[in-house]
Structure 1
Amino acid sequence: MTLRSTLLTASIVAFIAGAAHAEDWFPYKAMKTEPPFATDGKQEEVSYMPLAKASQPWKICVSFPHMKDAYWLGVDYGVVDEAKRLGVSMNLLNAGGYTELNTQISQIEDCVANGAQAVVIGAISFDGLNNLVTEINKKGIPVIDVVNGISSPNVTAKSLVSFYTMGQSAGEYLAKKHPAGSKEVKVGWFPGPAGAGWVEAANRGFLDAVKGSALKVLDAKYGDTGKEVQQKLVEDVLQANPDIGYVAGTAVTAEAAQGVIRERGLQGKVDLMAFYMTPGVYEGIKRGFILAAPADSMVIQGRIAIDQAVRILEKKDYIKHVGPKIFVVDQQNVNSVPRTSILPPDDFKPVFKVN
């Protein structure tokens, strides 16, 4: 079967938003980057179709930065459910946080030593895994870069969205509300852990999008995406800037800031904006506590990464650089967007092994 026949353009195949059931998440509206891995590559809309089944129970190793928040729980659901659907073995590793690069490297090394036939990495650092990727590549083991981004040219495939576009989408949403010439509004900006590829990309996208608007973005406050870290950063910025109009940043920032805003009686004075979606952000938007957030369909990124790994192992056609199409969810459309197209089921608990 050719790539043309398996990955039809969206104009030919109708887009199914992607339900929670593995059987019918596809086809999914996605964006392919050409040439692959190019920062200035052109994006082309495709309708992603995975394989029906793997030819054998391949051993796939998956590494995440942490499982501290609902975002990575969503990616976990994607890789777990797709591994089950395809009939492959999956072992998921949790490094423990964005400060734990050495842990992530050693965990992956151990997984490869124990017979992993493909490795899917949600990277802690954009550049810090490059030597490891090269070593794995030399063994003939495919490496799939999922969600966060790795700068190494030796990765085999990428299943991710442009976090530049995610940050840009959030910035554009706010900039439209405060065009040039209107009253200046201060924005506290919390892009996430310094040095992570997705954070730096989102930071550039957000700042580029607000240029020329009436928004004044305060100096970025970087920090791990643990709730306590983000809450403390928000409290400090609010203390130093009582006239702030927005708190914008990671999904954890927006989730943590809801309680701070309520406690300080700032509802209606300080609005919250996230540059990616989690269940907590989704519920916050529904309840009117969070303004909006772009959705990157993290579940689908996990699913595609597993499908790419199997396609590569079976020497079948695959898209080297692809990710779900981004769209913004706000209080106007939140009730019409199927929750299961962008988030894991409510009752999903972390799963680390699929046999």
Structure 2
Amino acid sequence: MQRIIACMLALLAPLPLAADPWALQTHTVPFDYTSPARPLTYTPLDRAASPWTLCISYPHLKDAYWLSVNFGMVEEAQRLGVGFRLVEAGGYPNLDRQIEQITNCVAQGADALVVGTVSFEGLTPTVQALSEQVPVIATVNDIADPGIAAKAAVSWYDMGAITGRFIAERHPKGSAPVRLAWFPGPQGAGWVSFVEAGFRDAIAESAAEIVLTKYGDTGREIQVTLVEETLDSGVAIDYIVGSAPTAEVAVSILRARGLEGQINIVSDYMSHAVFRGIRRGRILAAPTDFPIMQGKLAIEMAVRAIEGTLETRHAGPRIMLVTPDMVGNTDLAETLAPASFIPVFELD
């Protein structure tokens, strides 16, 4: 009875203004990032047909990147008139925890599942089983295709390649060699192998050489340890390159050791602290994949999948590289959540 009353109230409520189209990118073959990309003008729904309930799963909320994804999801869920329950696995090593969380979340009653996975293939059997009950939408981190109704994501190969090309253009083949310490993230995560392949391919014909590689979860404590180990190793380096938490901790560690300006920092994705570092000239560059927009798109796709109107099964924002000379002119409205925003785990 309560659900019927809620549906009646939703129908009686004034309709919101139609949303502006979103400027996105899609691939000619869904889920195939090697297929040609093309611009997409995406017109989102004005309103959900019913107040659906979504299950949402993140790998963690340890950095501001996933906070920005959460902000986008809250905004879009409120605009469409749907609710959600959010669970987070606590880190990339926690595959079993994420499997348990999404299984329980769907069992509690949900109309769709939106998942940012901790593993490319580790969730496949669970996702396939759950997809027989509800549509499953993948967001941000790439995941194996079986059981997936749609993907709201960008190519992490391209994220790595754009980062690598920035360094390759600064140090073309034949110029003085530079030595990189590379921090790709946790092995086995649904994005690390792709960002690493893109980065290594992009610097292959440059004067840049990876002399140390440090894998690890993207929690700040672990990244502090990895950066400290690198600097204590005695291996000379010119760059620290890696995830946003890597770049964030590297700024303070290099300053504390008196190495600021001697070792350059580049991040392969954006966060609030990375943006501040770029603005202050302490981080050279980072690409943004507009995590707020990815969060919005995942919610909108989930509603379409529930209602049977899903046409575009794979889309995401167009990646953009941000450097110090661009920060004043860059529209970051779909990149960084407001500083006052705190995570929302349940939305009615």
Shorter-chain TM range is over 0.9
Given the superposition, is the C-alpha separation of residues 262 and 84 from structure 1 closer, same or farther in structure 2, using an over 3 Å criterion? same
| Distance in 1, Cα, partners of 2:39 & 2:245 | 30
Question: Residue type of the partner of 1:105?
Answer: I
User: What does residue 142 of structure 2 align with?
Assistant: 149
Residue of structure 1 aligned with 2:281, choices 280, 288, 293: 288
Give unmatched runs, 5+ long, in structure 2.
Answer: 1-15
Q: How does 1:307-326 map to 2 (within 5 A)?
A: 307-326=300-319
Q: In structure 1, the residue corresponding to 2:57 is in which secondary structure? A: strand
Residue of structure 2 aligned with 1:94, choices 50, 64, 88: 88
Deviates more, 1:287-296 or 1:239-248: 239-248
Residue of structure 2 aligned with 1:135, choices 112, 129, 149: 129
Deviations, residues 115-156 of structure 1 (Å, cap 9, x unaligned): 1110000000000000011101222x1000000111132200
User: What does residue 206 of structure 2 align with?
Assistant: 213
Given the superposition, is the C-alpha separation of residues 249 and 23 from structure 1 closer, same or farther in structure 2, using an over 3 Å criterion? farther
Question: Residue type of the partner of 1:156?
Answer: A
User: What does residue 189 of structure 2 align with?
Assistant: 196
Q: In structure 2, the residue corresponding to 1:225 is in which secondary structure? A: coil
Contact 1:159 1:322 in 2 (8 A): yes
Q: In structure 1, the residue corresponding to 2:56 is in which secondary structure? A: strand
Given the superposition, is the C-alpha separation of residues 26 and 262 from structure 1 closer, same or farther in structure 2, using an over 3 Å criterion? farther
Q: In structure 2, the residue corresponding to 1:29 is in which secondary structure? A: strand
User: What does residue 41 of structure 1 align with?
Assistant: 35
Contact 1:308 1:318 in 2 (8 A): no
Deviations, residues 143-202 of structure 1 (Å, cap 9, x unaligned): 000001111322000000000000000000010000011111001000101101211100
User: What does residue 12 of structure 2 align with?
Assistant: none
| Distance in 2, Cα, partners of 1:208 & 1:25 | 39
| Distance in 2, Cα, partners of 1:244 & 1:219 | 9
Question: Residue type of the partner of 1:157?
Answer: A
Question: Normalising by structure 2, what TM-score?
Answer: 0.93
Contact 2:113 2:135 in 1 (8 A): yes
| Distance in 2, Cα, partners of 1:40 & 1:224 | 27
Q: CA deviation at 1:219?
A: 3.6
| Distance in 2, Cα, partners of 1:328 & 1:23 | 32
Does the alignment pair 1:115 with 2:103?
A: no
User: What does residue 65 of structure 1 align with?
Assistant: 59
Q: CA deviation at 1:29?
A: 2.0
Contact 2:19 2:43 in 1 (8 A): no
| Distance in 2, Cα, partners of 1:125 & 1:294 | 22
Question: Root-mean-square deviation (CA), in Å?
Answer: 1.4
Question: Normalising by structure 1, what TM-score?
Answer: 0.91
Does the alignment pair 1:352 with 2:345?
A: yes
| Distance in 1, Cα, partners of 2:181 & 2:164 | 12
Q: In structure 2, the residue corresponding to 1:332 is in which secondary structure? A: helix
Does the alignment pair 1:163 with 2:167?
A: no
Does the alignment pair 1:329 with 2:322?
A: yes
| Distance in 1, Cα, partners of 2:93 & 2:45 | 36
Question: Residue type of the partner of 2:41?
Answer: S
| Distance in 2, Cα, partners of 1:304 & 1:278 | 19
| Distance in 1, Cα, partners of 2:17 & 2:252 | 38
Question: Residue type of the partner of 1:209?
Answer: A
Does the alignment pair 1:264 with 2:257?
A: yes
| Distance in 2, Cα, partners of 1:82 & 1:290 | 32
Q: CA deviation at 1:271?
A: 0.8
Percentage identity across aligned positions? 44
Contact 1:161 1:325 in 2 (8 A): yes
Deviates more, 1:305-314 or 1:47-56: 47-56
Question: Residue type of the partner of 1:167?
Answer: G
Instruction: Name the count of aligned residue pairs.
Output: 333
| Distance in 1, Cα, partners of 2:340 & 2:206 | 42
Deviations, residues 23-48 of structure 1 (Å, cap 9, x unaligned): 79843321111211124222111122
| Distance in 1, Cα, partners of 2:90 & 2:29 | 34
Give unmatched runs, 5+ long, in structure 1.
Answer: 1-21
Q: How does 1:15-30 map to 2 (within 5 A)?
A: 26-30=20-24
User: What does residue 225 of structure 2 align with?
Assistant: 232
Given the superposition, is the C-alpha separation of residues 270 and 24 from structure 1 closer, same or farther in structure 2, using an over 3 Å criterion? farther
Does the alignment pair 1:248 with 2:236?
A: no
| Distance in 2, Cα, partners of 1:226 & 1:25 | 36
Q: CA deviation at 1:318?
A: 2.9
| Distance in 1, Cα, partners of 2:115 & 2:32 | 19
| Distance in 2, Cα, partners of 1:306 & 1:29 | 16
| Distance in 2, Cα, partners of 1:291 & 1:23 | 40
